[in-house]
Structure 1
Amino acid sequence: MTRYAINRAHNTLLAQWSTGIGDTAIVVARLTHDQLHQNTRRLAAELTRLSHLCWRSYTHPASSADRHSPHSLGWHRQQERDGFTTILPTLTATTRTTDQPIGTKVEQAAHAVARALRVLGTSQLTTHVTTDIAAELAAIEQAERGDLSDRAQQAVALSREDPSPLQISQADRLLHDNPFGSQDLFTQVDPTAAAIAAAHWFYAAVTITAQHTGMHPIQVVASAEQYDKPLALESLTDITTAMNAGARTRHVVMPLIRNALHIADGHLRGILEVQHRIMAAQELISKAHTDHPGIDLSPDTIHLPLTSLDPARPAPDLLDNLLHGIHTCWRLYQHHADPQRPAPANVENARQQLREAFLTATREEAAARSERLL
């Protein structure tokens, strides 16, 4: 989403958004020196909230809801998306309407921006803000079509409940070019789609590494080097286990991301996963008491993770985990190479040949399973 801020040094209203690698910012409008700072900051806050709610219609589309009957989740999401048409007229209205109820959160946010603009009371500022909001709405519509260029690029930092098949195919092509990941994967593709494609390539890397080393795929994942994030290994193990049982890549990845998004909203969808985690924690406590009778460990001291992903950024977090997993497979593959060492002068050449063998085998395995990507 776009975050708005006041540059006090230059007295300007700024709009800033992520590009996947770093942020970019533009000047929306120049402010006058007689405008109170608290009023301009209020405008920036209301604009940020409006952007957040509008982009939520992109990350949580009506199409991904289970039900669409009146007053269902899908119905409410569609109402929010339909509310886009009221935003610009609300900002440019010359009079304040009080006789009509404000139904959606998007409409409420638009009215809050309009009130902040009326307090500041300059038509030029209203024009500049309206122009910027129009560009923001156009960027969301562009992202919905699968085009993440220009201002719509901020979608590469968001986790979406319903990724585009075109985006998944684009991510798959980028990973074919470089299975270890590239900058384009983080700056041109929806991270949910990128995570689905990366899971496909990760499992291909796990499969050929298991064949090369004689290990079971789960052993390949478990032998990974220490992860910076304690729960990263859990997400990779879950994905490997499900795909090893024949599950399709999308059907494996999406529940992980959607569950994390629900938790970010303060909800738990289903209790089976939570019951599993609670039982595992109880078994851990019981074993600890058996092995160490004097230990002071009670259920209240256990921090129980509800998801293996970062709820604030589940898709980018999973994408990071999967690419790390592919690198881990390569290191394991390399470690189990032919023990007949080449002469020192040929070490680097032998390493490059082994790397190409790993990449070629991974590409062949990914191609052989291409029908299970979506």
Structure 2
Amino acid sequence: MTVYGLREGAPGEIFAVWPAGDAHRVGLLCQLPAEVSLEKAAELAKELTDLSASLWELYAQPPLPPDESADHGGMEATLEEVGEAILIPHLPSIDGSLLMSYDEPVEFAHRVGRVLHAISDRALAEAVTVEVGREINAVRRAGRGDFEGRAAQGVVVEVIDPSPLQVAAADELFHARPLGDVRLWRDVTPAAACVAGVNWLVAAAGVAAEIAGLERAAVFAYADDIESTSVEVPTFVVRGVEAGLTPRQIVVEMLSEATGVREGLTPDPVGLTGLVDAARARVSELPAENREDMLVALLGRLTLLDPARPSRDLLEHILSGLSSCLLVYREHAEETAGDDLPDEDDASAFFLAAVSQRASASREQLLR
């Protein structure tokens, strides 16, 4: 979301700051009229920040079913109402009552409009109206997969179920760089990159497992003995595919669980006792002096992913898993070559070619 900050001084200024995947961007919204109090300026900045957050939450929500969308009007109808509410906000009646909107972005827009009404400065109102228009346009463009300019916020918003077009675009980026491309962080949503990345991770694990004589899910623990790397999440992902789940199903399930934890929910309350029993069983195998600390660490995690940034965290684990597969492949390529040791670059090239071939063969999984 865009955060609006106040610079005190003469004149004071309001700045807009928004994330863009690789770094934050800053833009000047306006200079404040001298007669606007610091309290009113701060109130305006806060309401604009809340409005931006609600607009990007709207973008992150999955589309409504056709029948519900027809009744509600969908995202586009809400965006239209937001623009109108800035210009014609609900104001308190003579008896002090105030009409409230059930649509959160629209209500926040009315709040912005009421602050502007109280300040009563035409130039400031015009600047804020233009700024809200920019944010609305950014949400619209991000919804179409266009992340240029202000719409770059769309790549850091937690979208649980990405569009097929975004997944296809992420898959093309993996084809260009199978171990990960910097554009995965700025040109597509992380969730889309994760769905495509699961397919490439399973392909890479298969290539590494064959040369090492391992099961696919065992590759990551083996790599961790060579150098520190992600184990639990890549192993979970590969086992999910082996159990018959599609990449999309795995990603949506993991992101939904982490998002629920962020909102204070307990994932799978029925299975929670099983997790506790499993944690206690693992701890019982440790030396007595280490058991208490380890039990606290195990029971403190309700989800495999960071609830504050689940899709980006999952993508980091997937990319770490891909590097682990290459690490295992290189080690065993040297062992099996005997005296005719392959060049490290040659081993990497063979690995990447084999992974690309497998990932292409299973690409239809991304459509399910």
TM-score, normalised to structure 2's length? Answer: 0.87
Aligned to 1:93: 88
- Report the Cα offset of residue 211 of structure 1: 0.8
* Cα pair distance change 1:228/1:25, threshold 3 Å: farther
CA contact (8 A) 1:217 1:240 kept: yes
Please state whether the residue corresponding to 2:223 is helix, strand or coil.
coil
Q: 1:180-214: per-residue Cα shift (whole Å, max 9, x none)?
A: 11121111101110111111111111110001111
1:353 to 337, 343, 346: 346
Mark the CA change 1:293 to 1:147 in structure 2 (over 3 Å): closer, same or farther. closer
One-letter amino acid matched to 1:320:
E
Letter in 2 for 1:145: R
Structure 1 position 362 matched with structure 2 position 361 = no
The 8 Å contact of residues 257 and 303 in structure 2, kept in 1 or not, is answered as: yes
Moved more, 196-205 or 31-40: 31-40
Question: What's the counterpart of residue 166 of structure 2?
Answer: 167
Determine the structure 1 residue equivalent to 2:320.
324
Aligned in 2, Cα 1:294/1:285: closer, same or farther, shift over 3 Å?
closer
Equivalent residue of 1:28, what SS?
strand
State the distance in 1 between where 2:83 and 2:291 align. 63
Q: How many residues align?
A: 361
Match of 1:116 in 2: 115
Residue 5 (1) aligns with residue 5 (2)? yes
- Counterpart CA distance in 2 for 1:342 and 1:121 is 83
Q: Does 1:282 align with 2:275?
A: no
The structure-2 alpha-carbon separation of the partners of 1:361 and 1:4, relative to structure 1 and needing over 3 Å to count, comes to: same
Larger mean CA deviation between 160-169 and 278-287 belongs to: 278-287
Aligned to 1:248: 246
Shift of 1:242: 1.2
Q: Residue type of the partner of 1:351?
A: E
Tell me, which stretches of 5 or more residues in structure 2 are unaligned? none
How far apart in 1 are the matches of 2:365 and 2:213?
24
Q: Secondary structure at 1:179's aligned position in 2? A: coil
Deviation at 1:58, TM superposition (A): 1.3
RMSD of equivalent CA atoms: 3.2
**Cα separation, partners in 2 of 1:302 and 1:367, compared to 1, 3 Å:** closer
Counterpart-to-counterpart distance in 1, 2:12 and 2:217: 57
1:306 aligns to 2:302 (yes or no): yes
Is this contact kept in 2: 1:195–1:318, CA < 8 A?
yes
Question: For 1:338, what is the secondary structure of its paired residue?
Answer: helix
| Identity score, percent | 27
Q: Structure 1 222/68 Cα, relative in aligned 2: closer, same or farther at 3 Å?
A: farther
Instruction: Report the Cα offset of residue 8 of structure 1.
Output: 3.3
Counterpart residue identity of residue 180, structure 1: L
1:323 and 1:350 mapped to 2: Cα distance? Answer: 23
The residue that corresponds to 2:33 in the other structure is: 32
Q: TM-score, normalised on structure 1?
A: 0.86
- Which residue, out of 357, 364, 367, partners 1:371? 364
Report the AA paired with residue 136 of structure 1: E
User: Taking structure 1 as reference, are residues 104 and 294 closer, same or farther at Cα in structure 2, changes over 3 Å only?
Assistant: closer
Contact 1:59–1:159 at 8 Å: present in 2 too? Answer: yes
Q: Give 1:95 deviation, angstroms.
A: 7.3
- State the Cα distance separating 1:319 from its structure 2 match: 0.6
